Amino acid sequence: MKILLACLLSITNALTEVSIIPLPGRIEETPPHLLLKPGDFVSLPPYASKELYLSTLSEAAGFPFTPTTADVSCPIQFLAPNSLPADLEKPRGEGYVLRILEKSAIIHSATQAGHFNGLQSLSQLIASAPRKADTLSLPCLTASDSPRFAWRGFMLDESRHFTGVPGLKRLLDGMGRYKLNVLHWHLTDSPGWRIEIKKYPKLTSIGGRGNEHDQRPDAPAEFYTQEQIRELVAYAKERNITIVPEIDMPGHADAAVRAYPAHDGGGFLKKGSTTKWPRFTFNPAKAETLSFLEDILTEVASLFPDAGVIHLGGDEVHFGWHKWPNSRRCKAS
């Protein structure tokens, strides 16, 4: 039992010495250490956001670093895979190799995404490094990593509780830190409509009022303007994150139908409630409603050019399709 416990403690100590989340696929530690100090130079890749890379490293260290050109040897370098020793496999896609040597920390990658992931791993090591005065000490090692899953997502429901630009940027920062790369942004549902649609302004001025716990007719409207959405999409892209919007249909339509009642497909009242959910669906057989939704999706698609998809939800429609069988248009279609 004592031998088993000693082995487990040894494994735990080995894993906790390298503070990278998620843990890379391969780590090999070697002596000695790399020392970093205020003002040390960082050689950045040409496509990197200088402000983002430097602030990530400087905030982790607690002191500033200095950018320099890529051809200058310096304590932190971002290089292409062809600079790796022949015995190390070259990373592809979002993968990277981090080599911490006695005189420099080098992140090798073939892509912007890979360099960004390597940046996060290095910054985590810097944040947890032991310090003496203004100098911190990093263990020399070689870490090779690439994502196991292409879609590493987080879903945020904005309809029930509105986040706002500052809060969303903090979330994107956290996602980037731990190498999550897809934000599933749930922007419309029964409680509120959170995305500006230029052709239908009442979607936000009326549909954007309230939240899950406040359905007052005079509740403030909370939503993202198209300018704010473009800003957030660009902010996410710098952090290797794609934002995928969700526009719920044909159910969960209450907020939109409050704004434009002509597209009401019906619902039902939950027992004991006057607000859940009398206008739960869009009308599935009305040509004007289909054109209305097509207009909305056209504007949404233009705001998320890299998403490749718009999530339509499509769930829980049975909460509101009770009137469909009696609809003349539904019967005819």
Domains for the chain: give ranges and CATH numbers: 20-145 (3.30.379.10), 153-332 (3.20.20.80)
pLDDT band at 175 (very low <50, low <70, confident <90, very high): very high
H-state helical runs in the chain: 2-17, 50-61, 112-127, 165-177, 202-205, 226-238, 254-259, 287-303, 328-332
For the whole model, what pTM was predicted?
0.91
- Per-residue pLDDT, 71: 67
Q: Exactly one of 173, 231, 238, 316 is catalytic; name it.
A: 316
Least confident of 32-36, 96-100, 272-276: 272-276
Which of 98 and 48 is assigned the larger pLDDT?
Answer: 98
Q: Exactly one of 252, 254, 263, 264 is catalytic; name it.
A: 252
Q: How far is CA 149 from CA 9, 95, 97, 122, 181, in A?
A: 30, 12, 18, 21, 10
- Per-residue pLDDT, 17: 64
- Per-residue pLDDT, 249: 97
Q: Is 108 a catalytic residue?
A: no
pLDDT tens-digit map of 187-200:
999 999 999 999 99
How far apart are alpha carbons 258 and 256 in whole angstroms? 5
Mean pLDDT (the chain) is 92
Least confident of 67-76, 157-166, 167-176, 209-218: 67-76
- Per-residue pLDDT, 277: 83
pLDDT tens-digit map of 107-159:
999 999 999 999 999 999 999 999 999 999 999 999 999 999 999 999 999 99
Q: Is 161 a catalytic residue?
A: no
- Per-residue pLDDT, 119: 98
Residue with tokens 């290797």: 240
- Per-residue pLDDT, 274: 79
Q: How far is CA 280 from CA 161, 193, 232, 276, in A?
A: 19, 13, 30, 8
pLDDT band at 16 (very low <50, low <70, confident <90, very high): very low
Least confident of 12-21, 65-74, 80-89, 145-154: 12-21
DSSP secondary structure letter of residue 18: S
Which of 191 and 18 is assigned the larger pLDDT?
Answer: 191
Q: Is the pLDDT of residue 7 over 50?
A: no
What's the CA dihedral at 15, 19, 25, 28 to 10 degrees?
-70
Token pair recorded at residue 19: 């503070």
pLDDT band at 186 (very low <50, low <70, confident <90, very high): very high
- Per-residue pLDDT, 272: 85
129-154 as b/e: b if 16+ CB within 10 A? beeeeeebebbbbbbbbbbeeeebeb
| Nearest Cα residue to 118 out of 141, 151, 86 | 141
What's the CA angle centered on 146, arms 143 and 149, to 5 degrees?
145
Q: Is 189 a catalytic residue?
A: yes
Cβ neighbourhood burial of 195 (10 Å; 0-12, 13-18, 19+): buried
- Per-residue pLDDT, 140: 97
**Mean pLDDT of the 184-213 span:** 96
pLDDT tens-digit map of 234-287:
999 999 999 999 999 999 999 999 999 999 999 988 888 877 888 999 999 999
Q: Is the pLDDT of residue 15 over 50?
A: no
- Per-residue pLDDT, 70: 66
pLDDT band at 8 (very low <50, low <70, confident <90, very high): very low
Q: Exactly one of 94, 145, 189, 196 is catalytic; name it.
A: 189
Q: Is the pLDDT of residue 13 over 50?
A: no
- Per-residue pLDDT, 117: 98
Q: Is the pLDDT of residue 95 over 50?
A: yes
